[in-house]
Structure 1
Amino acid sequence: MKRGELDDLVAYGTIARARSFTRAAAELGVSPSALSHMMKGLETRLGVRLLARTTRSVAATPAGERLLRSIESAVEEVETGLAALGEWRGDPSGAIRITASQFAAQAVLAPVLPKFLLANPKISVEVSVDSRLMDLVRDGFDAGIRWGGNVAQDMVAVRVGPDTRLIVVGSPDYFERNPRPSKPADLERHNCILYRLVTGGGLFPWKLERDGKEVRTRAAGQLVLDDPDLAATLMLAGAGLGLMLEPKAASHLAAERLVHVLDDWCIPFQGLHLYYPSRHVTPALRALIEALRWKPPEA
Structure 2
Amino acid sequence: MKENLSDLVTFLNVVKEGSFTRAAALAGTSQSAVSQTVSNLEQRLQLKLLHRTTRSLTLTEAGEKLVALVGPAIEDINIGLEQLGELRDTPSGTVRISADEYAIQQVLWPKLSPVIKQFPEINLELMTDYGLVDIAKGGFDAGVRRGGLIAKDMIAMQISNEHKMSLVVSPDCAQQDTLPEVPSDLVSLPCINLRLPTHGDHFPWVFIVDEHEFRIRVKGQIVVNGVNQVVQAALDGYGYAYVPEALVLKFIDSGQLLSVLPSYCITHPGYYLYYTSRLQSSAAFKVILDALKHSK
Structure ID, larger Rg: 2
Moved more, 252-261 or 222-231: 222-231
Moved more, 245-254 or 93-102: 93-102
Report 1:1-299 matches (<5 A).
Answer: 1-2=4-5, 89=89, 91-210=90-209, 212-280=211-279, 281-296=281-296
In 1, the alpha carbon distance for the partners of 2:266 and 2:88 equals: 46
In 2, the alpha carbon distance for the partners of 1:204 and 1:235 equals: 16
In 1, the alpha carbon distance for the partners of 2:87 and 2:228 equals: 41
For residue 266 of structure 1, what is the amino acid of its counterpart?
C
> Normalised by the size of structure 1, how large is the TM-score?
0.65
Does the 8 Å contact 1:191/1:220 carry over to 2?
Answer: yes
For residue 236 of structure 2, what is the amino acid of its counterpart?
A
Does the 8 Å contact 2:88/2:282 carry over to 1?
Answer: no
- Post-superposition, which runs of at least 4 consecutive aligned residues in structure 1 deviate over 4 A? 84-89
Q: Deviations over 1:187-207 (max 9, x none)?
A: 122112222232131322222
For residue 191 of structure 1, what is the amino acid of its counterpart?
P
Secondary structure, aligned partner of 2:219: coil
In 2, the alpha carbon distance for the partners of 1:143 and 1:125 equals: 12
Structure-2 change in CA distance of 1:185 and 1:144 (3 Å)? same
Does the 8 Å contact 2:99/2:144 carry over to 1?
Answer: yes
Structure-2 change in CA distance of 1:88 and 1:99 (3 Å)? closer
Q: Deviations over 1:193-249 (max 9, x none)?
A: 222232131322222115623223353333333222222111111111110111111
For residue 185 of structure 1, what is the amino acid of its counterpart?
S
Aligned to 1:64: none
In 2, the alpha carbon distance for the partners of 1:88 and 1:189 equals: 58
Secondary structure, aligned partner of 1:264: helix
> Normalised by the size of structure 2, how large is the TM-score?
0.66
Provide structure 2 residue ranges, at least 5 long, that are not aligned to the other structure: 7-80
In 1, the alpha carbon distance for the partners of 2:205 and 2:101 equals: 21
In 2, the alpha carbon distance for the partners of 1:292 and 1:108 equals: 8
In 1, the alpha carbon distance for the partners of 2:130 and 2:213 equals: 26
Does the 8 Å contact 1:86/1:92 carry over to 2?
Answer: no
Q: How many residues align?
A: 218
In 2, the alpha carbon distance for the partners of 1:208 and 1:128 equals: 29
In 1, the alpha carbon distance for the partners of 2:225 and 2:94 equals: 31
Does the 8 Å contact 2:92/2:122 carry over to 1?
Answer: yes
In 1, the alpha carbon distance for the partners of 2:237 and 2:273 equals: 35
Secondary structure, aligned partner of 2:264: coil
In 2, the alpha carbon distance for the partners of 1:228 and 1:183 equals: 23
Provide structure 1 residue ranges, at least 5 long, that are not aligned to the other structure: 4-80
* Identity level (%): 33
Secondary structure, aligned partner of 1:202: coil
In 1, the alpha carbon distance for the partners of 2:142 and 2:226 equals: 23
Deviation at 1:279, TM superposition (A): 4.8
Secondary structure, aligned partner of 2:242: strand
Secondary structure, aligned partner of 1:146: strand
In 2, the alpha carbon distance for the partners of 1:218 and 1:135 equals: 29
For residue 285 of structure 1, what is the amino acid of its counterpart?
F
